[in-house]
Structure 1
């Protein structure tokens, strides 16, 4: 029966802790399949030594046990996963090879070995392309060979383009994020980006406003190469026109919902302008939902960017009014309203302080705030000129 390296490792841990009854060290195992990388003699790290020990090298078993014995208790859990990744990789698991490769980039507990990391991560990227983008970022950060990095970047771009061809908005969003990450590092795959833009524009022209916005994201000037702000704005305008028409040509009405426009990307200011363009276009032709969303978007910008307390107060009111439209108030929305009121209070808006106190007193504020916060908000309301709160104290503190 093949021995367990974990038993061997735990034996050395017991010994290092001074335990009287350590498990017996098993006999050396029979030879196994070839390892996925050349092993130094003597083996250099716990992954190498684990595989060599499995292959019948008794000295490697001792060296592996020594690695465990030297480890502090805080690193034992980390050490335990490395032999599992090594065995999985040896037995043909692409994901196991990928995870083992990433351990060689972390420098602890394995020694840093960028060349081996890239070698091991390749099968994972080939079989699981969703990891290629992260692999590209990690190898870039560790200054891996540029040719290796480009190999991963090309596959990350291809996968991003495939995601952009999906009808699932979340997958498209992931694809856009991947392209922007590659762009920030100067690694955009031009053919893949061109393919993604073409796919999304075709979907846009077929009547899907969210696809128009996704295409606009890929044409934004914050994305290189070949960003085109004018083309991005035109696509955002088309999205607004489709919203105003009710998106009648789409086969799935979910594709017409406004949340589909909210595809956050790198370059927040430019993206905010594109969303505003779409909403302005739809609102101008009578789409009331877009008008309301446009109003909210402008309030959010004023509250968060310009630090306008009145805008934060209005956002709180909108949240609170919306939460109370149904027989059962929306508690999450009421907590959101309390946060907007609190933000208004921070900006010295007295009514915001008073409204925050009222919601807290009714039990609708964030759970982490103590009951004493109610009177604090009312004191601040009075100090900031909201006289109705002066001298008023909490009557039923939040439990």
Structure 2
């Protein structure tokens, strides 16, 4: 369904929004809960991806379809590899069958896993024959996707001898790896991360029953940082529930959006975003997003909306997401009147001279494309195609925008 966002303004200069649990934390904890049933979870993400993860972990079917859920594909590949005596074919959408899985599969095979490609070598669908894995040393190319690394770490404590994982090359998205290790620590699994080697000790004991509360999603918060940046000075938006010492890599938004005149304060597990100053149009926004690539689209659109030049690097993982996000960003921003140059790992936005009205934004089955472009409605009317795609990570996104003053026609 296409929707039209009329030119809008924030209705209340002190708006409040509650955002559900982090998809990244939720999917890690859901897998750990499946391995250690004494864990109980609160504030689990209501995203499509987390619902698909939940259903897949409970499924007894021989075929598990995770649709567009890339995190689920990686984590479940590792999970089903250690389910002794069970055979599962893991598949997904047409786009999922184009997203590489070979690096993770080869690492699991090094540990003794049995995995067969059903269609194309190196890509889903894959048939997994679960078995006991006794080998514990494995090397992994570290500059492609941290989800491959986390997938191995999440099952490591259930391997007979744990795991000693050597990372080769520059490590991508280190905060997400540290998130995984921190969650392992919370349930009593011992690990170490020294240099390029991660060690996780085996754990045959169920942890003491405990309840873990998932922090709200910082990636989802990014769209409100963008909205605050496009508002008048003095506008406030409060979001809950967030921690100042967050495990999520996208919490760098707090520092990044200072460049757009947005000040963030923490109080009572909430953050308040305040548009504190205007930004000079001669400013050039420059960030290396290797540790937080999921917020690249939001930052690029914010820069475009404010008429700022923008250089974003560290984006090599964006080409294997729900779509090739670099190509998609270039295409859609240029439709709106911007000028964008991309390489295989960077995006360069020139200063724009205005934004075209009522341009239909294609979303490419990518939730972040829809949500990143939505704040532009504070500057001009726009059309978002296939708006339901936001359910992948943030099902109530459009309702929450309406609650703070956005005018949406369906």
**Fold match (TM-score > 0.5):** no
Structure with greater proportional helix content: 1
- Which protein is richer in strand relative to its size? 2
| TM-score normalised to structure 1 length | 0.23
Instruction: Compute the TM-score of the two structures, normalised by the length of structure 2.
Output: 0.22
